Structure 1
Amino acid sequence: MLNRKAAPWIVTGMIVNAAAIWLLWIGRAPICTCGYVKLWHGQTVSSENSQHIADWYTPSHVIHGFLLYAGLWLIARRLPLAWRLSLATLIEAVWEIVENSDAIIERYRTVTIALDYYGDSVLNSVSDILAMMLGFFLASRLPLWTSLTLVIGFDLFTTWLIRDGLTLNVLMLVWPLQAVRDWQAAL
């Protein structure tokens, strides 16, 4: 018999594992094709970007956690926190699967400066899901003003440093602007 308190944690783990299995099944590389794993890869214009555990896009996944916590608090606050985390993990896992589909990879390559982007490694996708979970956990514990400061700060910092972040990523995916692409390419 499944323990009621353990159930959402087991489901969350199953979601992460299912996403990893799906990504392997569709042909994503388990780790960087360079043959090694790094904790941090800080070069954005590189074939190793989105291939290791963490990179400059990790903060955007932490932001996902803050945003998913807020959204689920608004629409499902009566649901226990652990089940809301399961839902957030499901949403993030679906995003990782969609983001690594051929259509979205090609979209990134067409409308952004990510010409050498061929999708995330499975390790990076799982790490991105875990980063979202960290953001979700922080949002559940921190005061609202601190959460907002972190969300805005992370996005502004990466935008300033690498000329990309969650806001620009979404903008360029949904409504690409040549001026933004030119500005990003000037780095």
Structure 2
Amino acid sequence: MSALRPSLRIPRAAAIAALLVALAVAAILVAMDRPPICQCGTIKLWHGDVHSSENSQHLSDWYTFSHVIHGFLFYAAAHFALRARARGWALPLAVAVEGFWEILENSPIIINRYREATIALGYSGDSIVNSMADIGWMALGFVLASRLPAWATIALALAFELGTLALIRDNLTLNVLMLAWPIDAVRTWQGG
């Protein structure tokens, strides 16, 4: 471990707070009438077809890599913005931010934006199982970033971005770009 970046110690109370925040997000998603699991009636560990109605419905998919990167980014923000003691409470804050995104992502405004601006024409939002898994994958990324050297975290993020770009023509960078500022040439290329 680098002397410049001491290992993150997450206090037990902070871990419990992170879990409670995630449960609150699940309750909000239930209140939003999101489906608990895939309409197909199963829960899969992995679903790899991004052009399927089962995308974003299971425990992991190609967009899982983006959620792990979210954890890397949230850890980096905490590392640079918070003092040592406060960093121990960064995980519940990261879970709250990721949870806010999961709620927003499953709102009609973002679902419709995905349909209009990206290649996700039939996107209908995430199942609650998928949203909770996404929060878990982000937390894994956060913890990994706290334990790995910075160069390894950056290399892993680049590998995830380039790998998903090559394999599914999408990644976190393109996802943000296409939501914020859709480019027809990118959408055409992604549609392959």
CA distance in 2, matches of 1:20, 1:183: 35
1:88 aligned residue: 94
Q: Are the aligned partners of 1:11 and 1:86 in contact in 2 as well (CA < 8 Å)?
A: yes
CA distance in 2, matches of 1:71, 1:146: 17
What TM-score comes out, normalization by structure 1 length? 0.95
2:153 aligned residue: 147
Equivalent position amino acid for 1:117 in 2: Y
CA distance in 2, matches of 1:154, 1:79: 31
Residue 117 of structure 2 is aligned with which of 111, 122, 132?
111
CA distance in 1, matches of 2:17, 2:101: 17
2:187 aligned residue: 181
Between the two proteins, the alignment pairs up a number of residues equal to: 182
1:75 aligned residue: 81
Residue 60 of structure 2 is aligned with which of 50, 54, 61?
54
Runs ≥4 residues deviating over 2 A: 77-82
- Aligned with 2:85: secondary structure? coil
Give the Å deviation of 1:78. 2.6
Give the Å deviation of 1:79. 3.4
CA distance in 1, matches of 2:41, 2:162: 33
Q: Are the aligned partners of 1:9 and 1:82 in contact in 2 as well (CA < 8 Å)?
A: no
1:161 aligned residue: 167
- Aligned with 1:180: secondary structure? helix
- Aligned with 1:150: secondary structure? helix
CA distance in 2, matches of 1:102, 1:72: 31
Percent identical pairs in the alignment equals 55
- Aligned with 1:45: secondary structure? coil
CA distance in 2, matches of 1:44, 1:17: 27
2:136 aligned residue: 130
Specify every segment of 5 or more residues in structure 2 that has no aligned partner in the other structure, as ranges: 1-10
Equivalent position amino acid for 1:102 in 2: P
CA distance in 1, matches of 2:183, 2:93: 33
**Aligned CA-pair RMSD:** 0.9
CA distance in 2, matches of 1:183, 1:149: 26
CA distance in 1, matches of 2:95, 2:57: 20
- Asked if 1:29 is matched to 2:35, the reply is yes
